Structure 1
Amino acid sequence: MTATARELASAFSTRVVRELSKPHPALWARERIVPIAELVDADAPLRLAFEAAHAQLASTYRCEYVYKSAVIKQAIATEPTAHAMTGLPVFLSIADVAVAGEAASAFEIKTDLDSFTRLELQVLSYSRCFEYVHVVTSEAKAARVLDALPEHVGVRALDDDSLALTTARPASGGHSRLDPVSLFRVLRQSERLAVLHRQLEYTADVPSALLYRRTAELFTSLPIDAAYQEFVTELRHRDARQRAAAAAAALPASLAAAAAGLTLSAVAWQRLGQLLQKPVAQLTNTTHGWAA
């Protein structure tokens, strides 16, 4: 891994992209995009710089972000209305990617730079909340991953010559591994109330301080099949308005994984989309701020 590869990868962090959506991004964020801007002509828009940087990472340094991009690309191509999320807290772990469509899946990424130290715990956590659990790795590590995982966990490998994902073993479905308490904790309070209203016609009947306990009791009393289907429905529709705003911003495909981990206002998404259309020459003056 070279310094250049590290610099290119850092431009795709959610922290950088969030900062770029602000009216006056901080100097540190502007400095992060200088290396990617150098990959294109001065009059090229910033969006093309991100595309060029992503292509270079895919061919020379397959970091976690490249894997996330491949997972999300495949998921949305398979089911365009699915909701892809990154960094979702699930029981004792954080899912690299979670996808909620007609079904729901969690993905753990293990690049060639990763160890398997926490893999057992990660798979256990995801299996409590997602019917389908996958580990995504390189072709070189696929056999080792297969040996390390329970049979219900699927394994996908990122092709050495492209960004295509191949299935080494499909994930097995079923609800026997799901845990109602863990499902409840992934949901937001508004989502829990929506589920309980649909299932039990429940509306809040206790003070706010007692609402968590009350809704937990009711949610965990639901049949697991009903609770899980409602869980998938709520994740699929989560942040629908801000996702529509993100789509309207027409971000490049290279930023799909970054966008999946962000919650921004409609105005911020619009501002980011406009920034990405500007020539890099206008954006890389880190001494005097954004060039006019």
Structure 2
Amino acid sequence: MPDNSRAINRVFTKKVIMDLIENGKNDVFDYVVKRYINDPESKDHGQLISEIYLYLDQKQRNEYYYMNTLLNKLLCGIHNVNTTSALSQVRIEHSIADFIMINGEGRVYEIKSDLDNFDRLYNQLKDYFCAFSKVSVLASIHNRDRIEKILSSFGDMGEAVGIYMLSEKSTIFNKERGREPKEYNVLLNHESIFKLLRKREYERVVQNYFNQVFDVEPVFHFKKFLEEFRKIPILEAQKLAFQELKNRNKISIKEFEKIQPELKSVIYFSNLTKKMPEIEKLMQTQYGR
């Protein structure tokens, strides 16, 4: 494998975790361990994961590091795992939302790590506001002034965007050094909200709202349900859609607490909680190649 620092970004993925569970090894993981870890043979996989993650913290804070910090802070520290769901990599219009939190209301967090640029930020935020009323940016505290300047050029939309700052100590500021998002409904549209939902989800929303079963030929199914969904007042439609999204990624506090902090994001978003016994065993297994 070529000497490429991007390899470390691939460690915290479903494929790597599954390879380690099923095959006991993974080329990307082995490469990263040999490149970044001293004396790996004396350590178990849990220790190796912790040291790789520490390297990310100190040298290469990538999107996974930001997302995992956000998940740990919000789902563990502020909200209740039993009443809150988080989603990742959700398509909204032409953009992919990094992180979505559903807890009564829906919030989108666009992550801008030190490795990212801000070229597409306007279009990303505009797309998110088509389905969500509260949108925030999470960036390094070193980019605070830059973020504020960029958002100020976006007019009313930019003023509504929340700002969260990740500090050197991995704390997240939004009050002292950032700001809370403001509700912004100008760009909301039914189709963007509708497309967040899976088939069974939008069927449930529409049929429950109208208390009616719609028997439609498969070729006209999507069109018919979207047509009916558009008849629901936009904020009510959004609320009903969020209730469906909230039922995804269900996990108990007990299950969530069992996950090693560095792995919470990949396990949670990849639906690997059923593999926790195997993952726990792997983390305690001595490394040796």
Inter-partner Cα distance in structure 1 for 2:136 and 2:196 = 18
Inter-partner Cα distance in structure 1 for 2:70 and 2:39 = 26
Q: Is the 8 A contact 1:8 1:36 kept in 2?
A: no
- Letter of the structure 1 residue corresponding to residue 124 of structure 2: Q
Inter-partner Cα distance in structure 2 for 1:204 and 1:36 = 58
Alpha-carbon deviations, 1:112-134, whole Å to 9, x = none? 22211111111011111122111
Provide closer, same or farther for how the CA distance between residues 36 and 108 of structure 1 changes in structure 2, counting only shifts above 3 A.
farther
SS at match of 1:98: strand
State how many pairs are aligned.
275
1:181 aligned residue: 191
SS at match of 2:195: helix
Q: Is the 8 A contact 1:8 1:35 kept in 2?
A: no
Inter-partner Cα distance in structure 1 for 2:109 and 2:223 = 30
* Gap regions ≥5 residues in structure 1: 286-292
Q: Are 2:80 and 1:80 equivalent residues in the alignment?
A: yes
Q: TM-score, normalised by structure 1?
A: 0.83
Q: Is the 8 A contact 2:141 2:167 kept in 1?
A: yes
Provide closer, same or farther for how the CA distance between residues 39 and 177 of structure 1 changes in structure 2, counting only shifts above 3 A.
farther
User: 1:217: Cα distance to partner?
Assistant: 0.9
Most deviating of 5-14 and 175-184: 5-14
Provide closer, same or farther for how the CA distance between residues 222 and 51 of structure 1 changes in structure 2, counting only shifts above 3 A.
same
1:196 aligned residue: 206
Q: Which of 130, 134, 140 pairs up with 2:132?
A: 130
1:205 aligned residue: 215
Q: Are 2:3 and 1:10 equivalent residues in the alignment?
A: no
- Letter of the structure 2 residue corresponding to residue 113 of structure 1: L
Inter-partner Cα distance in structure 1 for 2:285 and 2:134 = 41
1:154 aligned residue: 162
Percent identity of equivalent pairs: 21
User: 1:236: Cα distance to partner?
Assistant: 1.2
Inter-partner Cα distance in structure 2 for 1:33 and 1:202 = 56
Inter-partner Cα distance in structure 1 for 2:198 and 2:286 = 40
SS at match of 2:258: coil
SS at match of 1:140: helix
Alpha-carbon deviations, 1:156-214, whole Å to 9, x = none? 11112x11111112110243432111010011111111212321223341122221111
User: 1:231: Cα distance to partner?
Assistant: 1.5
Q: TM-score, normalised by structure 2?
A: 0.84
* Gap regions ≥5 residues in structure 2: 152-157
SS at match of 1:151: helix
- Letter of the structure 2 residue corresponding to residue 15 of structure 1: K
Inter-partner Cα distance in structure 2 for 1:105 and 1:250 = 26
User: 1:48: Cα distance to partner?
Assistant: 2.7
- Letter of the structure 1 residue corresponding to residue 284 of structure 2: Q
Q: Which of 106, 109, 117 pairs up with 1:107?
A: 109
